[in-house]
Amino acid sequence: MKHLNRTTVPRPTSGPTEDGGGGAITFADVYPDILAAHILTRLDGPTLAATSCASAQLHSLSAQDHHLWAAACLSAWPSTAAIPRLLSTFPGGPRSFFSLSYPLLLPNPAAAATSPPPPELISAVDIYHKGAAIFSKVQETETLSAWFLCSPFRIDALDPKNFISTTIRHPDDGSSCTQLGAEMTLSWVLIDPVSRRAANLSCHKPVAVQRHWLSGEVLLRFGTVVSGCRNKKRRDDLVHCSILVTGGASESGDMQIREVSLKVEDMDGMQLTGKESLAVFHRALDGKRGKKKTREEEGKRRYREFLEMKRERRERKLKAEGTLDALCVAFGVSISVAFLGLFLLG
């Protein structure tokens, strides 16, 4: 699609041509109505974005057509059917929403928030199996209460008392878990409805899939690594926006989705509070986006780096604690020897 402006279309065999003979015509010679009605409407969001960059004509036909981009957003995220008016309020309409929400969100310590923290966050959550949506929901979360600001941050897209039935066979071993991970995808678009900003907190494919050793439930972990909110100058000031999907087996052996939740964890494995998480999101929404074609590979790579940095950090802390313990023991022994010496002299 990057070379549509050079693609040729055979000329009709009947009737004269402008140059008096046969040959070929370019896309610029095709009627705009045909392009808009019969070609652009068949493209998905990423292809539509690439097509709009191919030529000035295609850009003018696609970039300003809100209906095309609204359809692209609905195709990518069925949950957006519940918030069409919100998408239309973005500066560039649904096209801006798509350009913000499709790519992978990247860490950006230098990013500075340009607006006050939002009074609420809106989550558009979609889960797919083999490309078919099996769960879609829009969740609103208020951010002003003392309970939200002081408590560990967590958003449950699925009520703990409910579950979603599927026709997916519940995995019973490691290979079937791996297969399930290859078939499942998830999108969690976080939206600031006041400043009209959005970002996808998922890397599309799960970064880890495992079975719980006791319950047998399968745990699919999605998410993305972004900059923390405590020390921008530190390389390891990173947090993981962790999205957990938990599936259990029904009586028939099919999988039931029992949990879809989001929380934010720092390098020490501690869960951030609502206030801290809001600061992370507030800066991340203004952050950089990765390349659209590498979001899965880049997301997994960054997660592996995050785990490695966590391991190194833990080892440094254990080493420092071991050194401190040795100093305390040495100090205690020296004090005991000193008292013993005084006792013997006395």
Going residue by residue through the chain, which has 346 residues, state the pLDDT in tens, using 9 for 90 and above.
Answer: 444 444 444 444 444 444 444 556 665 666 666 666 666 777 777 887 777 777 777 767 777 778 888 999 999 999 999 999 999 999 989 999 999 999 888 777 655 555 677 889 999 999 999 999 999 999 999 999 999 999 999 999 999 889 999 999 999 888 899 999 999 999 999 999 999 999 999 989 999 999 988 888 999 999 999 988 655 555 558 999 999 999 999 999 999 999 999 999 998 889 999 999 998 998 888 877 876 557 788 888 888 888 888 888 878 777 777 777 777 877 777 787 777 777 777 6
Tokens (6 digits) for 299: 């997301």
Is the Cβ–Cβ distance between 228 and 239 less than 8 Å?
yes
Q: CA of 312: how far to CAs of 107, 232, 236, 316, in Å?
A: 19, 19, 10, 6
pLDDT at 301: 87
Among 247, 167, 260, 258, residue whose Cα is nearest residue 211? 247
- DSSP structural state of residue 199: E
- Residue 163, Cβ density class (10 Å: 0-12 exposed, 13-18 middle, ≥19 buried): middle
* H or E, element range at 225: strand 218-227
* Rounded CA separation 223/300 (Å): 9
Q: Say which residue the tokens 């402006």 belong to.
A: 5
Is the Cβ–Cβ distance between 264 and 280 less than 8 Å?
yes
Tokens (6 digits) for 344: 């013997």
pLDDT at 230: 57
What do you get for the CA distance between the two ends of the chain, in Å? 95
Q: CA of 227: how far to CAs of 107, 141, 235, 266, in Å?
A: 5, 22, 9, 10
pTM comes to: 0.81
pLDDT at 26: 64
Tokens (6 digits) for 261: 């939740």
* Rounded CA separation 305/107 (Å): 12
Category of 93 on φ-ψ map: left (φ > 0), alpha (ψ -120 to 50) or beta: left
pLDDT at 153: 96
